[in-house]
Amino acid sequence: MASLFVIQGRDQGSRFHLEDAVHTIGRTHTHSIRLHDTEVSRNHAELVRRGDTYTVRDLGSSNGTFVNGKPVTEYELSSGDQVQVGRSLLLYTGFVDDRVEDLAGKVDIVPLAGGAEDDGSRIVASMGQQTGGSEWLMPDAKGSSNPWLAKARSNLQIMYRTALAVSHTMDIDQLLARIMDLIFDWVEADRGCIMLKDLETGKLTPKVRRHRRGVRSDEKMSISKTILDYVVDQNEGVLTSNARDDSRWDPAQSIVSLGVREAICVPMQGRYEVVGVIYIDTAVTPQKALAAKGANQFTEEHLRLMIAIAHQAALAVEDTSYYKALVQAERLAAVGQTIASLSHHIKNILQGVRGGSYLIELGLGDHDEATKGEDRDEGAAQKAVDTIRKGWGIVERNQERISALVLDMLTFSKEREPEPQPSNLNELASEVVDLMTSRAEEQSVELLWRPAQNMPTLMFDPEALHRAILNVVTNAIDACDEKEDARVIVTSQYDDVAKVARVVVEDNGAGIAPDDVEAIFSVFVSRKGGRGTGLGLPVTRKILEEHGGQVRVDSTVGRGSRFTLELPATPTPPEGEAPARMTQAFLAGDMPSSAPAS
C-alpha cells in the first residue's frame, strides 16, 4: 500500500496510508492527513490518485508545498520523494508492495511429504553457504586436463570469495584488507594498494597497502598520478605494460620516470559513482622477462576480473557509507530537535526571569526615590516594595520552572532504577496538593484532595512518584486556565482485591482531542505553548512504568480530562525484617559471621 511517513515535524513517526481517490493534507481534523504543524494551512494540499500513482497538488497554502526541496503546485510522486508542508517532512512510498503480494499468490508452498499435492521431490544433496560453495569451486583433485575450464573455475572462485568478503562485514577497512588479500592469493603482484575517494575533497586516500613476500615493504610506494587520473576520469580500468610503447601515455609524464613495467589499475565503480581505485603492479626484471618469453605478467583477463572485483567492493563501500550517513543524519535530526525544543523552553523561562528582575530593578529605583531626602513618602515606598515583591515572585516561579525542567530532563535521560522504600501514597499526594495550592489559587482553580481511607504503606520510590504526581497536577491546573468554576480533584484509591493503588487527577478544563491523546506522551510535544516543557507526561509515564504501573487518560474536549496513575501494590516487608537492599549490603560485608549491631 502507498503511504506518507512523517520523518520530521511534530507528527514525526506517524504513517498515513494512502488508498482513496483523494487524500487531503491540512491542520484540521477533517483531513485524512492531519498535521499538527502551525505552519501547515488549514487546507494545505491534496493527493489525487491516478491508477497506481499519487499526484500532490497545493491548495493555495500560505507556505507552499515542496517536493524534494523544490516548490510545486502539482507533482506526480514516485517512491522516495520527500514532500514538505510547513515544517513537516513526509516520505512518500508508492504501491510497490502490492505487486510483490500478487506474485506471492502465484507461488504455492505445498507440504513435501504425504500431502495430496506431493510431487515426489526428495532432497538429493544439500550444501550450506559457509562450507559448500568454495570447495565446490576448487580445482578437481583428479586434475582436469582442460586448462580453459581450470582457469574459468579459478576465476569463478575468486568472484565467489569476493562476494563472500563483501557480504560478511560492515567495516570498510576490514573489507578492503580482505579484498587485497584475495587479489594477492590469485595474481602474482609485487605491490598493491586500494585508495578511496574522499567524499568531500574528491582526493584519493590510500586505505590498504600490500607487498608480496620478499619485496621490501618499508620502501615508499609511488603510484603514477597519470594512471590514477586516467582511471578515475575515464572510469576505465587499465593494464599498462612497458609504458614507453603505449600511445596513451606521454613519455614526459610520471609513468616513465617511475619505471613501472606492468600495472593494473581499476576504478571502483559503484552504483552511483567511482568510490576509489584498486592498483597492483609488478616490476619486471630482465630475467623475468626472459623466463616469460616476452609474455606479459598481467593479462586482459586479469584486468577483466579486477574490474569485477572492484565493482563488488565499491558496492559494499557505497552501502556501508550510505548506511552510516543515514544513521548519522537521523541522529543529528534527533539532537537538533532536542536542542531546538530545550532552547525554546529555556528562552521562555529566561524571558520570565528578565520580566521579574526588571520589575525588581524598577521597584528598587522607586524605593530609593521615595525614601530619599527629608520627606519620606510612605505610600510610594510601600508601592515600590509591592513592585519588588511582585518581581521577586516571578523570578522565584521561573527558578522553580528551570529546576523542574532539569529534574525532568534527568529523570528522562537516566536509566534510573527506582529505589523503593516503605511510603504512603496519601502522604505523598497530599504533599503535592499542598505544594500546588497557591498556584491553583493564583489561577483561580479550586484544588480538592480526597484521600482513600484504606491506603496501606507500600513499597515505591517516593521521590519519583512525587515528580510523577506533580507533573499531572500541574497539567490539570494549567488545563483549567481562564475557565469559569475551574476545579481539579485529586483522589487516591486502593483496590485490595486487584492489589492496585491509584492516584486520579481530574480537571474540568479544556480536554484533549482523541487524536492528541497518544501525542501528549511524546517527548517535547507540549500543548501548553510556552509554559510546557514537553517532558512532564513522558516523565510521569516513565516513572510509573519503572514501577510496573501505567498511566491512563480519559478526556473529552471541552469537559475535561482524567489521568489515572496506577501502581501495583507491593507490600512492605514484614516488621523486623530488614529491607532487601540492606540485607544485601550486610551479606557483602567483610565479617559475615558477626551479628548485626542492632
Among 241, 321, 348, 430, interactor with another protein by CB under 8 A: 348
Q: Is 354 a residue that touches another protein (CB under 8 A)?
A: yes
Instruction: Choose between 177 and 513: whose C-beta lies nearer to another protein.
Output: 513
Instruction: Give the one residue of 362, 380, 405, 409 binding another protein; rule: CB under 8 A.
Output: 362
CB of 392 to another protein, least distance (A): 12
Which CB, 63 or 321, lies closer to another protein?
Answer: 63
Least Cβ distance, residue 11 to another protein (angstroms): 14
| Close Cβ partners of 383 (under 8 Å, ≥ 6 residues apart) | 366, 370
Site for another protein in 22-61 (CB under 8 A): 27, 36, 38-39, 41-42
For residues 475 to 504, the per-residue mask of contacts with another protein, x marking binding by CB under 8 A and - elsewhere, is ------xx----------------------
Nearer to another protein, 348 or 430 (CB): 348
Non-local CB neighbours of 390 within 8 Å, separated by 6+ positions: 359, 363
Identify which of 162, 232, 226, 166 has the alpha carbon closest to the alpha carbon of residue 197: 232
- Give the three cell numbers for residue 463: 521521590
CA geometry: angle 455, 460, 463, nearest 5 deg: 105
Q: Quick one: which H or E segment has residue 314? A: helix 300-371
Show Cβ contacts of residue 531 under 8 Å, excluding neighbours closer than 6 positions.
348, 478
Using the minimum distance from each CB to another protein, give the nearer residue, 36 or 210: 36
Q: Does 512 bind another protein (CB under 8 A)?
A: no
The DSSP-derived string for 182-245 is HHHHHS--SEEEEEEE-TTT--EEEEEEEE-TTS-SSSPP---HHHHHHHHHHT--EEEESGGG
Q: Which stretch binds another protein (CB under 8 A): 111-119, 289-297, 497-505, 528-536?
A: 528-536
Of 350, 406, 410, 585, the one binding another protein by CB under 8 A: 350
Give one DSSP letter per residue of 148-194, joined into a string. HHHHHHHHHHHHHHHHHHHHT-S-HHHHHHHHHHHHHHHS--SEEEE
* Binding span for another protein by CB under 8 A among 132-140, 233-241, 413-421, 523-531: 523-531
- Choose one: 142-150, 358-366, 545-553, 586-594; the region binding another protein (CB under 8 A): 358-366
345 part of the interface to another protein, by CB under 8 A: no
Q: What are the strands, taking DSSP E only, across 362-444?
A: 421-423
Looking at 76-84, 124-132, 499-507, 525-533, which segment touches another protein (CB under 8 A)?
525-533
Separation of CA 564 from chain center:
31
| d(C-alpha 426, C-alpha 449), whole Å | 10
For another protein, which is the closer residue by CB, 39 or 319? 39
| Residues sharing a CB contact under 8 Å with residue 107, sequence separation 6 or more, in sequence order | none
Of 150 and 385, CB closest to another protein: 385
Q: How far is the CB of 390 from another protein (least distance, A)?
A: 7
Contact set for another protein, span 370-389 (CB under 8 A): 387
Span of 162-170, 353-361, 534-542, 579-587 interacting with another protein by CB under 8 A: 353-361
**CB-based burial, 411-443: b 16+ in 10 Å, e otherwise:** bbeeeeebebeebbbbebbeebbeebeebbeeb
Residues that bind another protein (CB under 8 A): 27, 36, 38-39, 41-42, 62-63, 347-348, 350-352, 354-356, 358-359, 362, 387, 390, 394, 397, 442-443, 481-482, 529-531
